Every structure is written in structure tokens, then in C-alpha cells.
Structure 1
């Protein structure tokens, strides 16, 4: 469904992505993981058309979209949903207005009301339509952001650090919600995270970025068995639930690999 070929992106002298190749089949849950600054969120913004690559190609359902104008991207973006890291809700709008924001240009207001209520129900929120974001918890704001992401029945949902800033219990609830929505809506999911417990819970396939390139790719079980010490140090030191009995002095290993 989505293919990336030799994708490069820099900001000034900072080379963020260096020749990324990626294939995301329809119906997959792909987790893109890696340390801060490795290019995860930049890749997400390139895939959603919020940025343009310096070079390379992005294919969506047979269309090469990396050179599309904003106008030409409109019908593509209607097939995509996005949950931003901070949920990115409008403080001056009610929950219902936030969920229905992207629908107001092509739906009647009565339809927007019913759709918002339906999507809020899907993310297990009830009787909050008239509240403002400041009146609900951080976990509830994430759910509202997710309800907005699925409001237009997207084929692909992108998640940018969905559990960041949440306590472990609320984070686990968001993980379960992402898993349930993937099953209920039959969508393709792309999740950027450095939360390893979240990654291994939801992923059908995983990709690890390091210094702007892919250094590991595979199923969760294949990633757990990965011998690259950078990968092992990252996944096992970042998890509350997965232990690596073979990794001891990770700092020494990383220093040796990078030198």
C-alpha cells in the first residue's frame, strides 16, 4: 500500500534521513522505532505529506505522491488519519467540535454531530462532547485526538508517540485501544514510538532507525532475536516487561560498535 524508495531529508547541514527504503502492506501494523533524533517523526511527516523529501519517492496505493501539490494531496490526505504526539486539540473548541473539525467542509452539521458521537464511542468516551480539552485528562485528550483521526474513516492511521507523557496504566489503555481499532476498522497502522512495551504489544512488523537509516526490520520475534547490539540495547533497556539475559554492559557494547 505504501512504498518508500531511497528517501533522503536534511535540514541545513543536519542529514536526518539517508536513503530509507520501506514497504508497508495493506492491513499491517508497522512500528517505526529508534532513539530521539533518528528521524522517526520526520519520516512520519514525509509519509503524510506534511513535508517533502530532498530526494526519493513515496508511493501510496500506486501513486507517487512525493511531488504532489497541496491541492493534489487533498484526496490522499482524506484517506489518512493522524494522531499527533500532543493530540493537538483546539483549546477553544469542545470535544465534539475537535472530533468533527476535518468533516465540517464536506458533511452537514447534523452528520458531524452523529459521526463525532460514534467515533468517541469507538475510543470508549461517553458524555464528554461538550467539554473543553482543559476539562479532561491527558489520556482522554489522546482518545479525542484518536477519535478525530478516525472521523473520516481513513485507510491508514499514523500515530506519533501515542503513549508519550502518559502514566504506565493509561499508556497500556492506549495500546489496547490502538490494537482494538486496528482490528475493528481493518486499517493499516504506522506507529512511531520509543516505548518498547507499546511497540511489542501492537506491532505485526517493526523497523528500527538509527542515524537516519534502517538498521533492523522484521516481526517482533525477529527483532527480539536481533544480534545487532545497538538494537538489543535499545529494545531491552527501553522495556519494563522484556528482559535480555545476554546484554550486560550495554554502554561498553555501544561504544565499541560506534567506534
Structure 2
């Protein structure tokens, strides 16, 4: 089952590149390196059309319809308001033969230097091997404004979204309010379109590394594949020690912190419990 990480915000398509190496699965725009695609690389694209995030709209379940329902539920829980997301089109992008892609990009000197620096800093490295997008998503927010004996307590829905890390551009419409009281209540409904293609979930593979000693390795195997002699060897390795880096891909992300998973079609979506509210 492929593991995908649900992002805490929608990101425009150009924000993330397939084949990117990075350190943070929920913030793929920080501390990363983009390599030149190998000449024999290719990207697989799958198009899904006319779906919505509801339980009743399809006879057969697929990843995109389930994903939209999951997005609606997750954001609603985090903002304590009702958010429903629909879209007529979604796309899935995958790196074809991503293991071969990885072996190709680690031949680049700058990529190897970046890996060495990150490894020395104790960070984990991930490879972006796929992502899922929605096109022109339709967002409907419903909230209540309530009057109490002492007056009215309100705050903007957009502020509630931002406070939980969910950044959804809602245009120039008047911002409704969420109310809290025991008396009269009034529903607020707001609709908007998130223009363009937005990334909502990313599939990663983790980079596993280990250090070896060049004294125990055949020199002919160095500078080939995913094993190389360090460019910037720490002082304690100048004379002896493990001076060779070897990297390989792992499917298990082994994420730190508290994460929950949701099975969606043949894929699995992971989301941090730090970003979710209890139902």
C-alpha cells in the first residue's frame, strides 16, 4: 500500500517537483534540493473527472472521490465548522521507476553534497515520488452565528482555518462569522473556488543511509550507483574511519510524532494528529 501524506494546506502545482529531496513531509517547500531529471525518466499521469467528496456519488470507490471526502472531514474537524470540498477533476502524478530516478540524481555532485550536509545535521531525507491534485476545487463553508444574553461572540471562518494551518484562498467575499451561544443562531454559508490545480497529498519514499570505510571497499565500486566517497570529510575522518556514504530507498516512512492513517482505495493517507481535532 502506497503511503501519502496529507498536507496541512493546499499548494499550487508548481510548489513541489517530483523527484525533490527534502526533510519535512508536511512542509515540502523548506530545505530541499531539486535535481536535473535523468534523460530516461518519465512521469505517469492519471486523470479522474466528475467526482465529489460524498459517500453516495459513485458505485465504485476510487482514490480521488475518497480523498475529497477525507479532505472535507479533516478540515471540518480542525476548524470546528462544516467545510465541504468538491471538484470535477483530479490528477495523480507518479515518477515512473522512481528507484532508477533516484540512482540517477545521486550522481550529481550538488545533490551528494546536500545529502551529506543533511545527514550530518541528523535530519531524515525523503524523495517525492508522487502527488495528488484537485482542479478548481469548490469549497463550501457553513457556520453558525449565535446570540446570547450578553451579546454576540464571533470570529471569522478564514481566521479559524488559518489558526489550524489550513490555508485556503477564499477570494474577496465577505468573511462570515462563527458564533457561540445558547440562544438564537443563524447559519452562514460561504462558497468559493480555489482557482487552478492544487496539491493536497504527497507520496514519499524515505532515504536510508549508512557509512562505510573506503579501506574495505573495492575502489571500482565507488562513484557508481548510490555509494560515494565524501566530498567534505569531517576532520575526524581525515585519517581513518567511515568515509563513504551509501544511500538507498525505503518504503516505510517511519515518521516521528503522532500520525494516523486512512485507507483510501489502494493508497494510505497519513495525517498528523497535532493538526486534527477530535470528532
TM-score under structure 1 normalisation?
Answer: 0.22
Please state which structure has a larger fraction of its residues in strand: 2
TM-score under structure 2 normalisation?
Answer: 0.21
Please state which structure has a larger fraction of its residues in helix: 1
Q: Which has the larger radius of gyration?
A: 2
